[in-house]
Structure 1
Amino acid sequence: MPTDFDACVRAVQSKDARFDGWFFTAVLTTRIYCRPSCPVVPPKAENMTFYPSAAAAQQAGFRACKRCRPDASPGSPQWNERADLVARAMRLIADGVVDRDGVPGLATRLGYSERQIERQLLAELGAGPLALARSQRAQTARLLIETTTMPMGDVAFAAGFASIRTFNDTVRAVFALSPGELRARLAKGRPSATAGMIALRLPFRRPLTPDNLFGHLAATAVPGVEEWRAGAYRRTLRLPNGPGIVALRPQPKHIACQLWLTDWRDLAQAISRCRRMLDLDADPSAIDASLSADPLLAPLVAKAPGRRVPRVTDGPEFAVRAVLGQQISVAAARTHAARLVAAYGEPIADPAGGLTHLFPSPAALADHDPAELAMPQTRKATLSALLRALVDDELDLDVGSDWQRARARLSALPGFGPWTVETIAMRALGDPDAFLATDLGVRYAARDLGLPTTPAALLRHSAAWQPWRAYATQYLWATSDHPINILPPSGPEAPPAAKSPTKKGASR
């Protein structure tokens, strides 16, 4: 959050959407909190105060603005840029760890005491883990109230509330409306979501260039687990309470998202994982400004600003796929992965496309027969070592992992060189400074741009791009005509049964 009061006031007065999610404006006279870009007439500066999180504003007694809906702002980019305790805690809270395991479970995952976590979150965000989780539950409840016809009791428990009374009190405190009033105000006359499906709009900070983002996901899609259909990237999701399916379609001002869930309790986690996969909480203005300082990169940034890093919904899954893809083509890697999926994946029914399985978990793959994969023996040994480390909890690749510790553990496994480690760091761990200095595509682009071409020299030059080298990698890759850089054609349409009306108004 910007610490300069005057800078925050200027952002509010200019309705600067770049700061949405960075901080929240609370109005002392109305007791309402807003995003900086709220369309209403800005209050006087002496009536403003600022909070680093929606949870802190709620805890101070402010309610959410009904015009700008600050709870639906893009998330702060800090939580995906940093690897410290607070950032790791925020990623885990967004993934529902507090709702599932409580604060003790969060502390166990982070390796710190509950008191240390509480103290650091309060110091930086003005709210502890319980308040932050409560704020997320309120947002999930709003989505379910507005976009489904679920009974309110089911909404309360699906959103993570322990009782109907707490649900009612929280919704009224945050939105100044009862759950029934919220549904009547925003859902009247609109079609509701079909059974098990919800349609949302995922906001992002502009600009966003979707070509390499969706092109990469579509070009590397594993048959049965992922597909490109009707202009949308679709994939299966392994969630805490059951499987799910998501369809994500790029739009000029948002990402259209459709989610099929077997258990509504997984809604917040599914949204969080999709946002993370598409890197929607990034701050493209800051990233592009930094990379443009290099005159050799500046033309690439100017040509297609706002490139994102295509990330993943499941770290262990991607690590397995990275090993399968060592020193072979994208098509061959997809073939190897598809064989594992067919043999060990969990079958799933897809109501709107051709998805058939969840990608197999490390535990399911631990007993795989290496002879099933037409790979060199050394790579089979690498895969086996990775699976043992994941099953034995010696390696953490989930959202709250310690990036440097994970790098060190990966590097200690047989067959894990710099390319594989940095690929996993970039896409699975989400490190914005991961850099593939040995990647052939990066080196070819460097040659064509007049950059150093040897890995050591390129690594030294890349120091000027820190802490955004993962984004520099996307701009370098995009200089080629490889399919990962091209937004695919629309592809096959969904089956007729999936074309039922759904509500599109809710956002997060």
Structure 2
Amino acid sequence: MRGGHVPVPPAGVPRPARAEAGRVRTWVSAGPVDLGLVLGPLRRGPGDPTFRAMPDGSVWRASLTPSGPGTLRVSVVPGGGAVRGEAWGPGGEWLLDGMPDLLGASDEPEAFAPRHRVVALARHRRPGLRLTRTGLVLESLIPSVLEQKVTTDEAYRAWRLLVRKFGEPAPGPAAGGRLWVMPAPRTWALIPSWEWHRAGVDDKRASTILRAVRVAARMEEASGMEAGAAQTRLELVPGIGPWTSAETVQRSHGAADAVTVGDLHLPGIVGWALAGNRSADDAEMLELLEPYAGQRHRAARLILLSGRVPERRAPRMTRGDIGKL
């Protein structure tokens, strides 16, 4: 989802108490909070079974935390900058403790200085943009591996099918029972080869995920490391390169400088927006983003949100489905 923005309706009227009340926390942000912008990068397609944006303006997430599965509902309190969080399950307390970071409390958007008009305008139009930090590595790493070298639709389908088949229902009301917690590392490791095939995942991506979950504890340890060191650790696993590690730490660490290299479209989008060159490669993209050193991911995200994208010349990437072979 280019730019990572999920439409979230404005906060509605206060809802009645739930029959299954969870633990509650209220957090007051120093600035505006746009749930669709902040949490949007965590949703893997409109059918993501771990994420729901509801008509009442709330966002629901189901996560596998170090304390176990948990469900978190967040909503902006009408008339103020407060955000209300409600959580269920063994991991609920962990999710509430991490809610401020999830909503961008550890981000420093004020450190960003726009150097191009298109970037400055995008920032002005999106005052609620903050970079999320989940503190969870595998929940961002695994879907990022699924997105390697395929269309987003194929990757989203694979994530949806595998989570629903091998995950578990999220604790609590869970957006009306429509949320699922992703499988535990051991469960990923035990998925039969034919199930990967049915989900459209080739042997290369499946093998990368299997190698990662075998060292799951080492992967999750990276959440406490500086983003660059975390990327280095992730890339020790064969099949995880700079593209995948950057996509992961952008979410797990809120890494403002982890620009994605090796992407099929991003260099051309950045090149077009900043220099009118739709044929830019990674080297030119990095050169154009050099004035934003330390904040290059944020700059690239604002460019994506600006909507300034070159017109498509070639047909879309062919969608495959090895599950039908």
TM tier relative to shorter chain: 0.7 to 0.9
Please tell me whether residue 429 in structure 1 is matched to residue 253 in structure 2.
yes
Query: Which residue matches 1:39?
Result: none
Alignment of 1:477 with 2:304, yes or no, is yes
Tell me whether 1:343 sits opposite 2:165 in the alignment.
Answer: yes
Give the AA of the match of 1:325. E
Is the aligned partner of 1:369 residue 2:212? no
The runs of at least 4 aligned residues of structure 1 exceeding 6 Å deviation read 191-194
Q: How does 1:489-500 map to 2 (within 5 A)?
A: none
Q: Tell me: CA distance 1:406–1:445, structure 2 relative to 1, closer, same or farther (3 Å).
A: same
Larger Rg: 1
The one-letter code of the counterpart of 2:209 is L
1:246 counterpart residue number: 72
Mapping 1:228-377, distance limit 5 Å: 228-230=53-55, 231-250=57-76, 253-254=80-81, 256-262=83-89, 267=93, 269-287=94-112, 290=113, 292-312=114-134, 314-351=136-173, 352-373=175-196, 374-377=200-203
Deviation at 1:366, TM superposition (A): 1.4
> Retained in 2: the 8 A contact 1:227–1:235?
yes
* Cα drift, residue 226 of structure 1: 1.9
Q: Does 1:416 align with 2:240?
A: yes
Q: Which residue of 1 aligns with 2:272?
A: 448
Contact 1:403 1:425 in 2 (8 A): yes
- 1:466 and 2:293 matched: yes
What is the alpha-carbon distance in structure 2 between the residues aligned to residue 239 and residue 198 of structure 1? 16
Q: Is the 8 A contact 1:248 1:256 kept in 2?
A: yes
The 1:426/1:397 distance shift into structure 2, 3 A limit, reads: farther
Structure 2 Cα separation of the partners of residues 398 and 222 of structure 1:
28
Aligned residue identity for 1:431:
A
2:227–2:253: 8 Å Cα contact kept in structure 1?
yes
Query: Is the CA contact 1:278–1:309 (under 8 Å) kept in the aligned structure 2?
Result: yes
Which ranges in structure 2 are unaligned for 5 or more consecutive residues? 1-15, 310-325
Q: Distance in 2 between matches of 1:315 and 1:199?
A: 25
Moved more, 442-451 or 379-388: 442-451
Q: Which residue of 1 aligns with 2:27?
A: 202
Secondary structure at 2:106 match in 1 = coil
For residues 396 and 418 of structure 1, the distance between their equivalents in structure 2, rounded to whole angstroms, comes to 18
Structure 1 vs Structure 2: percent identity of aligned residues?
A: 21
Shift of 1:322: 0.7
Deviations 1:305-329 (A, max 9, x none): 3422244352112111110111333
Query: What is the TM-score normalised by the length of structure 2?
Result: 0.74
Alignment equivalent of 2:37, drawn from 187, 193, 212: 212
**Alpha-carbon distance between aligned partners in 1 of 2:45 and 2:307, rounded to the nearest angstrom:** 16
The answer on whether the counterparts of 1:397 and 1:429 sit within 8 Å (CA) in structure 2 is no
The answer as to whether partners of 1:227 and 1:354 remain within 8 angstroms in 2 is: no
SS at match of 1:412: coil
What CA deviation, in whole Å up to 9, does each residue of 1:32-54 have, x standing for no partner? xxxxxxxxxxxxxxxxxxxxxxx
Matched to 1:378, the amino acid is K
* Partner Cα distance (1:425, 1:266) in 2: 23
Secondary structure (helix, strand or coil) at the match of 1:318 reads helix
Task: Kindly provide the CA deviation profile for residues 252-277 of structure 1, in whole angstroms up to 9, marking residues without a partner as x.
Answer: 743533423245x953x322323222
SS at match of 1:408: helix
Question: Shift of the alpha carbon at 1:360?
Answer: 1.0
The alpha carbon displacement at 1:446 in A equals 1.6
Bigger Cα displacement from structure 2, 466-475 vs 349-358: 349-358
Distance change (3 Å), C-alpha of 1:239 and 1:395:
closer
Secondary structure at the aligned position of 2:306 is classed as coil
Q: How many pairs align? A: 285
Q: Secondary structure at the match of 1:308?
A: coil
Change (3 A) 1:447 1:363: same
